[in-house]
Chain A
Amino acid sequence: MRKLKRREENPKKQKNNKIFSFHNNRSKENKENQGDTSAYSEELEEAKVKKDGKNREIIHITYMFVGLFVLVIGYFSYFMISKSNEVINNPYNKRHDLLAEHIVRGKILSADGKTLAETVVDDKGNETRLYPYRNMYSHVVGRFSKGKTGIESIENFHLLTSNDNAFVQIFNELSGEKNIGDNVVATLDTKLQEIAYDALGNQKGAIVVMEPSSGKILAMVSKPDYDPNEINSNWEKLVEDKENNSALINRATQGLYPPGSIFKILTVLEYMRENPDYNDYKYNCTGEDVFNSVKIHCYNNESHGTVDIKKSFSESCNTSFANMGTKINMKLFRELCDSFLFNSNLPTNLPYNPSSFTISGSSNVNEMPQTVIGQGKTQITPLHAALITSTVANGGVMMKPYVVDHVENVNGTVVKKYMPEIYKTLMTPEEAQILTSFMEETVKTGTADALSGKKYTSAGKTGSAEHQDGKRPHSWYVGFAPAEKPEIVVSIIVESAGTGSAYAVPIASKIFDAYFK
């Protein structure tokens, strides 16, 4: 009786066999029923013969596949959690406009809490994007219509995302109201921006002010500019550009200029690296000299007399630098410039043009005299010049520049914070120190002595970049202050104005004065 009962249980078990346990059932029965009637046992025999140990292999394969899928899910989750925000905040992502149907675009605020851009909704629900400072931030904050630019473009997604209280959001959704998008707080300082903007006056040019220790952009000006409030009505005029103003271009990041003498920062660094006896360097400047078959003259053919390396730098002596150039290896010079981001991408999400440095190991030696003094084919953007200067100011470490400090919801709670990031260490602290001392000398006794005698110390390099016969040179100045513990870096270019000393240095002076007031 007991036996029969067990038999009755068995079929049930077999039908609902648990995974993986079937074989055990089967083999038990196998033993139990051996010697049973012919047909049945034959079948069992057959099963026994064909049964083999392949299940171990199948389990291996199962682990492998489940492992693969776990990896896919893991990667997918990783993408969602830490990558997607950065990925979708891309101007190519056409989905942003969909968000605008549910969200009122957030504000763009300055670091000191002033509104740089906001969306105003009237009684009928019409939205208008307003820029209270009109032309002042037309490039860096950018515009909203006619193709987003500046912060409006790079932070588009955050401006169109609401991290407001979830209940408020659901309530708004239920009542058919739009949610309020997050606010983007820029690193820009309205005081510095205003000073820089006014200092450039009606001249064409660009100014970048940044904090060397963090890479924060404190001010960014480009002129000519336009009023983003009026962009729709002025668009055709701006595109047509009869006066050749290129007002739509952000010269600070996209304008490519010959660097002129500010390039000597890199030349002197390369010379020092290749010639450890640079302290013994001497050259007699007569205002003009011939190198290989290229004639180089100092500005206004001024003769600087006998100069050492520091004096060559602070007086911006072209002939002396061209002389140094004869002792510089072209291939190594190219490597140095490449490491300082010539011919490559800048670590920024603002639209920019890459700077170019064309000398290579196979270049004609006759290109060198012009190239080492920042003329020739070299081109640089003001932002890039600011980065190189910041690297000196920051002890040789280049920080990634950024214009947005954080994103906060409508109630001011921080949603996303951008942290300073190191791009790379490009020179030793000693090298940075020596370059700083050269640049300080420029301020104390050299071409930027208009900045001496202030209550703050500073360091810098002027440039007067020849760009077209018959036109005055572009006026450059890059510098930082205080010299001992740099807090801000400026990079200034005034197009076709004249010497760096006469036009760019006074602007730097105004910015520093305002900062250290």
Chain B
Amino acid sequence: MINLFTQISKYLNIVIIAFYTYNAFRVFSLTDKDKKDKIYRKMKRIIYLFHFVCYVVIFLNTSSLKVVELYIAQVAAMSIIFAIYPWIYSNISKFLLNNMMLLLTIGYVMLTRLNFDKAMKQFAIATLSIVICIVVPIIIEKIKKLQKYGWVYGALGIAILLSVLFLGVSNYGATNWITILGFTFQPSEFVKIIFVFCIASLLSKRQDFKYVVVVTVLAAAHVLILVLEKDLGGALIFFVTYLIMLYIATSQPLYFFAGLGAGCVASYLAYHMFSHVRVRVAAWRDPWKLIDNEGYQVSQSLFAIGTGGWFGMGLYQGLPTSIPVVDSDFIFSAISEEMGGFFAILLILIYISCFLMFVTISMKIQDLFYKLLALSTLYMFQVFLAIGGVTKFIPSTGVTLPLVSYGGSSILSSVIMFSIIQGLFIMNQDRNEKIEKKRRKSQKAKK
């Protein structure tokens, strides 16, 4: 009976999430606000339904009351968040809010299945992050001077990265963890945001060649320190983010391609200089040959994805815990194994829909600084690295899947980024409304 429900639920979940994804994309073709709101409400209900189905399966398989408690707490937190955000910000993007909550929920479900304690922690940190981030949109909207401190951001970012380099602790081969007052966290997650602010601010001021060279040196310094910390994924993310922002700010394809060329040369050098780069590449090219050592993780990940097949094994029916670091970097494989390949593709599509929303928001913004902030290619590229790495499409770089993977720093940083974009959306909407009001007033006055 338990098995039966587990089996049915895996098909059900694929249908549910397919329906969600369909609606997420449908929004883009709609202009009518009421219709859109209707879809947003539908999406919200789907999240609750998906959450419910998964926790029933988890409960049936564990018979643990703690699971029920966690479920109730999560539903409560979710309801409050869904109620409070639109109450504070009438112009909030419900699309982004829904997607953020769905991605978090997928993470909760998978983590509860993998490791209950980590799931509790993740839930606590995520909820706390969202509560803290309520102020982010106000900050974005009210503090107009944010774009003036480009060099300060740059200096701060470099300082943090350097301190990690010298004081940091190694974890999974990369020295990018730091412990303060008993809390271990990954400062590079926050430097990501500072970096985006830094580059957006600097490049929105001037785009002449000399200036661009100086900014590039600053960005390269970030990348270099990350390489020295052996945080290859981080280095790559910063590098690509910078190239894209540079291209948009300067409209110079030449910069972009020159940057890509430089990146290739740098990768080549890195390959020959650092053994840990060679190890990753070797494990990517033929994980089966190195299955006992370097290739172990990727092979296990492919076993998981392959054995799960298109429809998955069903929650608790697979063996995702055989993949090292499955709860953070390799959570995509666990999702694919137990929820199915179709589900995994839908998850990618949901990320794409988020990205399209970022693009839409960014395009509507006039100010270059905010435009660059809103695009947030940083997180999208991270999604690409995370999924590409665990599916052996590209060498594994050990980055988290934003909002889904376990990890306090990663969650907080992703929530902050979503909130910033939320703030930009709200700012833009408020501004439109203001203009509209004034225009109407002036029309009336004219009459």
User: Contacts A19-B360, A65-B380, A94-B319 known; A83 to B306 CB distance under 8 Å?
Assistant: yes
Which of B249, B291, B364 has the most chain A CB atoms closer than 10 A to its own CB?
Answer: B364
Interface with B: A56-64, A204-212, A273-281, which one?
A56-64
Whether B435 pairs with A93 at a CB distance below 8 angstroms is: no
14 example contacts (A-B, Cβ-Cβ < 8 A) are as follows A7-B440, A16-B32, A17-B364, A33-B439, A47-B366, A61-B377, A76-B341, A77-B345, A79-B392, A85-B306, A90-B291, A92-B299, A93-B303, A98-B318
Give the docked Cα–Cα distance between A55 and B309 (Å): 40
Interface string of B36-63 (1 = CB under 8 A from A): 1000000000000000000000000000
When distances are taken between beta carbons in the complex, the residues of chain A under 8 Å from B348 are 69, 72-73, 76
A72 and B387 within 8 A (CB): yes
Q: How far is the CB of A98 from chain B (nearest CB, A)?
A: 6
Interface string of B308-324 (1 = CB under 8 A from A): 01100100011100100
Q: Give the nearest-CB partner of A86 in chain B.
A: B306
Instruction: Indicate if the CB atoms of B33 and A16 lie closer than 8 Å.
Output: yes
Binary per-residue interface labels of chain B (434-447) against chain A in the complex, 1 for a CB within 8 Å, 0 otherwise: 01101110110110
**A61 lies within 8 A of B366 (CB):** no
Closest-by-CB residue of B relative to A89 is: B306
Cβ distance B369 to chain A, nearest Cβ, rounded Å: 10
B144-194 contacts to A, CB under 8 A, are: none
Cβ contact within 8 Å between B303 and A58:
no
Given contacts A12-B33, A16-B32, A98-B319, 14 further A-B contacts (CB under 8 A): A11-B440, A15-B33, A16-B33, A18-B31, A33-B439, A43-B438, A47-B366, A51-B366, A58-B359, A66-B356, A76-B341, A76-B387, A84-B305, A95-B318
> Closest Cβ of chain B: how far from A52's Cβ, in Å?
7
A40–B439 touching, CB < 8 Å = yes
Q: Give CA–CA (A68, B377) in the complex, Å.
A: 12
What CA separation (Å) do A224 and B432 show in the bound complex? Answer: 87
Q: Given A14-B436, A15-B432, A80-B310, A61 and B33 touching (CB < 8 A)?
A: no
Cβ-closest chain A residue relative to B244: A61
How long is the Cα–Cα vector from A75 to B393 in the complex, in angstroms? Answer: 7
A68–B392 Cα gap in the complex (Å)? 14
- Would you call A68 and B362 a contact (CB within 8 A)? no
B-contacting residues, A14-57, CB 8 Å: 14-20, 22-23, 29, 33, 36-37, 39-40, 43-44, 47, 50-57
Which residues does chain B contribute within 8 Å of A58, judged by CB atoms?
248, 359, 362-363, 371, 375
* A220 → chain B closest CB, angstroms: 24
Q: Is A71 in contact with chain B by the CB < 8 A criterion? A: yes
Interface residues on B, range: 35 or more
Interface 1/0s, chain B 1-14, versus A by CB < 8 A?
Answer: 00110010000000
> Closest CB-CB distance, B326 to chain A, in whole Å?
13
How distant is B372 from chain A, measured CB to nearest CB, in Å? 9
B89 interface residue per 8 A CB criterion? no
Q: Cβ of A76 and Cβ of B345 under 8 Å apart? A: yes
How long is the Cα–Cα vector from A40 to B432 in the complex, in angstroms? 11
- Residues in A with CB closer than 8 Å to B248 are 54, 57-58, 61
Bound Cα distance from A94 to B310, whole angstroms: 19
Name A47's closest neighbour in chain B (CB-CB).
B366
Kindly list chain A residues whose C-beta atoms are within 8 Å of the C-beta of B362.
58
- Nearest CB to that of B433 among chain A residues? A15
Answer whether residue A87 sits at the interface, using C-beta atoms and an 8 A cutoff. Answer: yes
A272 close to B (CB within 8 Å)? no
A53, B319: Cβ atoms closer than 8 Å: no
Please indicate which of the listed interface residues A40, A43, A90, A98 has the most CB atoms of chain B within 10 Å of its own CB.
A40
A112 within 8 Å of B by Cβ?
no
Interface residues of B in 371-402 (CB under 8 A from A): 371, 375, 377, 380-381, 384, 387-388, 391-393
